[in-house]
Structure formats: structure tokens, C-alpha cells
Structure 1
Amino acid sequence: MVEHSGGHVVPFTLVASAAQAGQRTDRFLADAIGTASRSRVKALMQAGSVRRNGTVLRDAADPVRPGQCYSVEFPPAVAARPQGEAIALSILHEDDSLIVLDKPPGLVVHPAPGNQAGTLVNALIGHCGDDLPGIGGERRPGIVHRLDKDTSGLMVVAKTEAALAALSADFAARRIERSYLGLCWGMLTPAAGAIEGAIGRDPRDRKRMAVVARGGKPALTHYRTLEILHGAVSLVACRLATGRTHQIRVHLSHQGHPLLGDPVYLRRVPGPARLLDDATRRAALDFPRQALHAQSLGFTHPATGAFIRFSSEPPADFHALKAQITANSGSA
């Protein structure tokens, strides 16, 4: 079908015959390959891996043309389980039961389509050895909770099944303390309070989450304004009472105060940006990730029963952005 030799991919190729003319391309290729379903072929076409006479063909229903050469390039096989990699970790605490670490922005937590390597899981397996993959499943070993790729800060990872079960139960029962620091646009009113609203898929964009009237999961975020920077940006502390996907990002955006740099929930230039000088405005609008940091994490140790708490300073890019906004010289 397809060979992988020294990293070189040899695609499956064939020339359509007159008897195959007019068939749907996905059916034609699936039948010819013999080991790939129509849905698999369709996915490959949508990914740009199917060509007709050298030109990418994405329409699965396109009728087969006799005499034309069709080729299908299959991606290299992915390992059934993540492999350990030598990726540096910022570990605040480690014992026989768990690890508490400070995740940098840009690091994906576990392998997924598009990020099969270079993840936190790969780093953890490289650090802990072969025992970790059996803790909680091969694809997400030891993972109790997640942070978005571009959110920095504290995470706890289980090293035993007992620790995973205990920590997961505490997360589900809301017995874990988690607080975040964020830079958001504008000034929240009141300056401290709670944002409550069920979160589910945005009916207008399935890649986003939103506060929804029906079908969502209950979500509650407590917040407190720590500092207001020129009326344009607020430094806020957020404490999660629940743990929904993108919860802080969704709740702040729903209130009209999206996080600086948020690529998903900041869709237009916010009005408060006009209060910043040109250079500071550009820096704030061009910040390459959501300005969100998991600052503190507290939980009951599953082995000792002691309550332990950890804290972390935001990374350098967060500090630099805040410093530039603080030093803002005024509207241009």
C-alpha cells in the first residue's frame, strides 16, 4: 500500500480504468486500497493527501476519470503509546505519589492529532520512566487535570493509581483550590464578584465554548480585581469553583472583558485599547497567547492526608506585558 523507508513516504498509486469511470473517488480508492474505509479515504482527501495527476483532490464525491493517475499518501504510523522525551520540566515538588510542576506556555499537555510528540506527557514519561504509562491510560498517563496549551502555571500529576483516583475524586468534588492571574481588557464591575453561567459548545462556532442557555455544564468563577492599568487593562485573580473547558476565558469574554492575547475569544479590537499609546496598544493586541497563569494550587496529599499549597510567579512574557502597560505614556 504505502512504504516508509528512512522517513521517505512512497504513496499508493493507480490509474483509473474505463470500468471505474464515474464512481465516487472515495469509494473507488477505498475499494482499490482494500484496507482503508471510505471515511478514512475521505479524511485523507480533506487533509490534502490525495492527488489526481499531481493535483490535490479534496472532493470525495468527484467522479473518477479514466486514464487519470490517483495517488494516496498515508501519514507515518503513530506509536500506540506516547514515547518518553528529554524535555526539561520545572518541578516544584515530587514524591512517590505525585509531581507538582510549573507548565510553560506553549506546551501541550497530552498527545492529540497535530501534537503527537513534544507534549507534557512525553516529558513526564521521559522523567518517570516506563511505570508512568500504566497510570490512568496510555494516552494521558498520570494526568489529573489540564491547562490549555498557552496557559502557564501549576499542575499536579499522579504517579500511582491510588493518587490518580484520590486527586480525580477531589477535583470532581471541588476540593482542589485553584487560582489564576489574568490580564483582561477594561474594568470589571463590580471589581470583585462571581460569574456564573453554564458552558457548552458555541452553537455558532463549534470550535469555541460559550455561556449557553441549554445543554451546557454549570460553571462558577470567582474573581477579584487586583490592579487597574490606565483604565484599559485589569489584573484579575480568578478562583475556579468548577473546572469547565476554557472556563475563565469564556466567563470573562461573556462579561465583555476578554483576556489579552486570547486567539479564540478576542474577536475585535476592544474599546479600552484606545487608552493606550501606540506602542503599548500594539504590544497588548499582538500578545501571542491568552494572558492567563495558574498561580496557586492547593490539595490534600493522597498519601499523607496533609493539605499542601503551591504558588508560582507568571512567566517573563506576562510580567513584561504588564510592565509595559503600567508604564504606558497615555493615549496617542
Structure 2
Amino acid sequence: MKDESSKKFKVSNKSDGERLDVFLSGRLKISRSQVQKLIKGEAVFVGNHKPRKTGEIVKEGTVIEVMELQRTEVIKERSYEKTNLEVEIIAETDDYLIVNKPTGLLTHPTEAEEGESLASWILENYPKLKGVGEYDNRPGIVHRLDREASGLLVVAKTQKMFEFLKKQFKNRDVEKEYSVLVHGVVESDHEMIDFDIDRGRDGRMASRPKTDKLSLRTIMKLQPGKESLTEYWVEKRFARFTMLKVKIHTGRTHQIRVHMLAYNHPLVGDTLYFNKKLNLKRDIELGRLFLHASRLCFADFSNEKVCFEAGLPDELERFLVVLK
């Protein structure tokens, strides 16, 4: 028997043919793993039947219903794993903390990814931050970096600062710059990549068009997805690689990785979006994603702009020396 407290979603023409778990993940704003638990827990109805598979294909016009009671049961506070990784503190005030996240460290644990995280490091070293923010498993964390990336993150030490920073991120007032190495020789010294990003049917983020650079300008306006803006400047060209300074003006999941792949210049060391069969010897030698958050600027409570910088980690510097 269905619970009266539920959410219903009607499959649109655009979503026709999507996987059920991908469809619900986007609408419930939870991970695919959480959705899969709901489906396996018989909390989801496709029309009048319970789906047998989490990857069932949804059809246009079908009504998908999710039981609210059982949905809340899968969204629980996660336990923390102690981290043995060192996190460099770049700056600290009474209101915020600037850290240099190393590669391999999650910003915070999720249903899809578990393990050592910056969140657990914060609770170990700053236990008073528990309760700061919107979620207990993200103490003071306003934004995030991919696990494979490294670089600067700001952590709020008070709820007042958390809300203050959150508003700046929402209004796109925060400046974020990244040091990136991509495959191939990028021709244009400066470019704004502005085609949309959406979640693909396989659950990964996707940009349209994928590799059609020649007709990029005319095609991108016709594609579905969310507005995404990535600006880059060429800093150095190598024989088969290019070093870029990248600034993102929106905050989409995996934005730089997806945009550069679509621009036909995938990031070095990106095993998620750059097909492993195509990965060259250099990617294997590097052993990590060449994506580093090198500069971060925002306003403090006095409305003065404050900026912080973090140089490349040693392993990335050594890799560039080899390329030379």
C-alpha cells in the first residue's frame, strides 16, 4: 500500500529513455546510490508497479512516485573515517579557514564515495565546527573540490560566515582560478567556453557538443543543459600538452573536466571522462588528475576582497619538468 506522503514526477519528452536511478537522482537532489537504496527498498513506483531494476528505462508520460517516509530513512548522517593525510593551513581567522586540500582526499563523504575526507579532518582538528553549515557531515564546508583534484578551499568557522560565503557563491562573486594541464596544443590564447552542461543518461556529466570544435559556436546554443562558463588562458605550450590558467564563472559538477573534454583537450590524468584506452603513457606516469585550485578570492565581513594562492604540489611541478 502506498504512503500518502510522497513525491510524484512525470517523465518529460527530454527525459524519455533515461535510467530510472539517473532520473530520480536529478529530481530528488540525492546520489544515485541513495536512489538505488530507495528502489531496492520498494519505495519507488513506476506507474503502478515496483521496478525490478535500478537501471530500468523510463518512458515519456510515466508517473514516478517516491515514498517520503522511506526516502528519509536512507539519508542519514554518515560516520567519519579518521584521516592520516596532512592538510596544509594557508590562513586562519576567527571567521574562516583556508586549506590546501591534497589529491586523494574527499571534501566530504557521500553515498557514492567513502573514505578519508576533509570533513573528518575538520572535526578532528576543529571539533567546535560541528553544527556549522547545513549538514552535519559537511562542517563549515561551503564548496568542494573533486577527490582527484588539489588546492584551495575556504571553510567557515561560524554559521554567520557560512551564510555570508554561501551568498557570495550563489551570486557568483567568488573568484576561483585553477592550474590545469590538458592534452594537445591549444590554439587560442584565451577563450570563454560557454556551452551547457547536463547529466548524461549514464549518470556522468556531459557537455554538448562533445568534440565538434569546428561547429562549436553554432551547435552549442541548441543543446539542453545548465548554463556553464569556463574561461581559460594559455600559460605554456609543450609538444603535446598545454598548461592553462582556468577561471570558472559557474559551479557545475566536474565543470572544467567536462568542458575541456568537449573542447577536445581533456585533462591529463582524468580517468573518469578521458577513456582509459586512450590514456597516454604520461597520464599513467602522473598518477593523478592535473587539476589544482591555485587562487581563491572572496569578501570578508568588512567587504574587503581577500585573495589566497597555493602553488603547484611537488608531483605536478616534477611532471612539468619532465615535459620540458
Same fold (TM over 0.5): yes
Equivalences for residues 106-255 of structure 1 within 5 A: 106-113=104-111, 115-203=113-201, 205-211=202-208, 213-230=222-239, 232-255=240-263
Once the two structures are TM-superposed, the CA of residue 40 in structure 1 deviates from its matched residue by: 3.6
Once the two structures are TM-superposed, the CA of residue 249 in structure 1 deviates from its matched residue by: 0.7
Partner SS for 1:206: coil
Q: 1:297 to 1:106 in 2, by over 3 A?
A: same
Q: TM-score, normalised to structure 2's length?
A: 0.69
1:29-73, CA deviations, whole angstroms, 9 ceiling, x for partnerless residues? xxxxxxx9982499xxxxxxxxxxxxxxx999xxxxxxxxxxxxx
In the alignment, the residues of structure 1 paired with residue 256 and residue 172 of structure 2 have an alpha-carbon distance, to the nearest angstrom, of 16
In the alignment, the residues of structure 2 paired with residue 222 and residue 261 of structure 1 have an alpha-carbon distance, to the nearest angstrom, of 21
Count of residues paired in the alignment = 248
- Work out whether residues 141 and 155 of structure 2, in 8 Å CA contact, stay in contact via their aligned partners in 1: yes
- Work out whether residues 294 and 311 of structure 2, in 8 Å CA contact, stay in contact via their aligned partners in 1: yes
Partner SS for 1:183: strand
Q: 1:215 to 1:159 in 2, by over 3 A?
A: farther
Partner in structure 2 of residue 321 of structure 1: 319
Partner in structure 2 of residue 330 of structure 1: none
Partner SS for 2:203: strand
Once the two structures are TM-superposed, the CA of residue 284 in structure 1 deviates from its matched residue by: 3.4
Partner in structure 2 of residue 256 of structure 1: 264
Q: 1:317 to 1:222 in 2, by over 3 A?
A: same
Equivalences for residues 27-38 of structure 1 within 5 A: none
Once the two structures are TM-superposed, the CA of residue 82 in structure 1 deviates from its matched residue by: 4.3
Corresponding position: 1:265 with 2:273? yes
Once the two structures are TM-superposed, the CA of residue 113 in structure 1 deviates from its matched residue by: 2.6
CA RMSD of aligned residues (A): 2.9
Once the two structures are TM-superposed, the CA of residue 210 in structure 1 deviates from its matched residue by: 2.7
Letter in 1 for 2:229: L
1:158-208, CA deviations, whole angstroms, 9 ceiling, x for partnerless residues? 1111111111111111111111011101122312111111111123x3234
Partner in structure 2 of residue 51 of structure 1: none
Partner SS for 2:233: strand
- Work out whether residues 132 and 159 of structure 1, in 8 Å CA contact, stay in contact via their aligned partners in 2: no
Letter in 2 for 1:255: Y
Farther off after superposition, 134-143 or 252-261: 134-143
In the alignment, the residues of structure 1 paired with residue 313 and residue 277 of structure 2 have an alpha-carbon distance, to the nearest angstrom, of 25
Letter in 2 for 1:238: V
Letter in 2 for 1:293: H
In the alignment, the residues of structure 1 paired with residue 126 and residue 173 of structure 2 have an alpha-carbon distance, to the nearest angstrom, of 27
Once the two structures are TM-superposed, the CA of residue 135 in structure 1 deviates from its matched residue by: 2.8
Letter in 2 for 1:228: R
- Work out whether residues 82 and 122 of structure 1, in 8 Å CA contact, stay in contact via their aligned partners in 2: no
Partner in structure 1 of residue 96 of structure 2: 98
Q: TM-score, normalised to structure 1's length?
A: 0.67
For structure 2, the residue ranges without an aligned partner over 5 or more in a row are 1-36, 44-51, 55-73, 210-221
In the alignment, the residues of structure 2 paired with residue 292 and residue 105 of structure 1 have an alpha-carbon distance, to the nearest angstrom, of 9
Partner SS for 2:204: strand
Partner SS for 1:133: coil
- Work out whether residues 105 and 150 of structure 1, in 8 Å CA contact, stay in contact via their aligned partners in 2: yes
Q: 1:37 to 1:128 in 2, by over 3 A?
A: closer
Partner SS for 1:250: helix
Q: 1:86 to 1:284 in 2, by over 3 A?
A: closer
Once the two structures are TM-superposed, the CA of residue 112 in structure 1 deviates from its matched residue by: 1.4
1:99-137, CA deviations, whole angstroms, 9 ceiling, x for partnerless residues? 100000000011113644421100001111144234322
In the alignment, the residues of structure 2 paired with residue 222 and residue 294 of structure 1 have an alpha-carbon distance, to the nearest angstrom, of 14
In the alignment, the residues of structure 2 paired with residue 126 and residue 185 of structure 1 have an alpha-carbon distance, to the nearest angstrom, of 39
Once the two structures are TM-superposed, the CA of residue 258 in structure 1 deviates from its matched residue by: 0.2
Q: Which has the larger radius of gyration?
A: 1
